[in-house]
Structure 1
Amino acid sequence: MTAVDALDARILTLLLERPRTSVREYARILGIARGTLQARLDRLERDGVITGSGPHLSPAAMGHPVLAFVHIEVTQGHLDDVGDGLAAVPEIIEAFSITGGGDLMTRVAARDAGHLEDVVQTLIQLPGVVRTRTEVALRERVPYRVLPLVRSVGRAAAAG
């Protein structure tokens, strides 16, 4: 069984398209009971499909317009330690363990090029970091989104 069925996909689509709508209004639009909707929402949260409901914030609008991806090579056996160290750096807005060139990839928001260099120097000094490689993003081409994926999953669930 798929984690998201066709009704779940409709619910998720509404949440993404109309994030400030009430649960009562979602139920009305979907033509289902409020209790049914709430049970679905609770399950989707419990299953980790819905991971939050807060606002999406723009680092650029908060004075950090420089976006960079910093790849970090880590001494074997120190991945968790470096991950803990990254969590203490406020400019790190995401970090992932990866395959390929490096062990970790971070997304960094900085005020300007000098600030980015300061952040990278902080990362280099973390115990267990061997080297870093930085790539500066020039322009966002596809913003973070999941709505097309939700729609695709919903179509597949309805068809299958």
Structure 2
Amino acid sequence: MDDLDQRLIAKLRADARASVAELALALKVSRGTITNRMARLERDGIISGYTLRLRPDAARDEIRAWASIAVEGNQQKVIRTLLGEPGIAALHDTNGRWDLLAELRVDNLIQLSATLERIRAVPGISATETSIHLQSYRG
């Protein structure tokens, strides 16, 4: 995946209902380029489907977790790669022991495991630590 793929995925994560024309305009490429990129990303399994976002309290069966991530080397390249990961709902820059904090949202533990494996395989990630979200006391 190149930079355009990463930017396209980021736009789709923000609005999966965006039209091809809107995406092309935002990314400054032709509609044909967007259509071809989306078809390839779907065919290669990078995009496995399109979804909607619910309020956190409306998604009762969803597994949420937080992955703390340590980065060695080019953090911006790691960030671009992680923004294309379908299991990552939000990605935050932080300070302290960890460089990034990823909010993970998946349907089951198998998907959580697969998401964590993909995250750990990203070049430049040197360590991760994950905590599963059990309950919120204040929204």
Same fold (TM over 0.5): yes
Structure 1 or 2, whichever has the larger Rg, is 1
Query: What fraction of aligned residue pairs are identical, expressed as a percent?
Result: 22
**Of residues 94, 102, 108 in structure 2, which corresponds to 1:106?**
102
Matched to 1:74, the amino acid is V
**Of residues 69, 72, 80 in structure 2, which corresponds to 1:72?**
69
CA offsets per residue over residues 27-84 of structure 1, 9 Å max, x none? xxxxxxxxxxxxxxxxxxxxxxxxxxxx9624675686100000111013x1101100
- Cα distance, 1:74–1:108 mapped onto 2, change above 3 Å: same
Corresponding residue for residue 128 of structure 2: 132
Distance, in Å, in 2 between the alignment partners of 1:110 and 1:59 is: 13
Greater relative contact order: 1 or 2 (C-alpha under 8 angstroms, separation 6 or more)? 1
Instruction: Report the TM-score, using the length of structure 2 for normalisation.
Output: 0.57
Q: Note the 1:1-160 alignment, pairs <5 A.
A: 57-58=54-55, 65-76=62-73, 78-143=74-139
Instruction: Report the TM-score, using the length of structure 1 for normalisation.
Output: 0.50
CA offsets per residue over residues 82-133 of structure 1, 9 Å max, x none? 1001111122111111111210001000111221111000001111111110
**Structure 2: runs of 5 or more not aligned:** 1-51
Name the count of aligned residue pairs. 88
Matched to 2:128, the amino acid is T
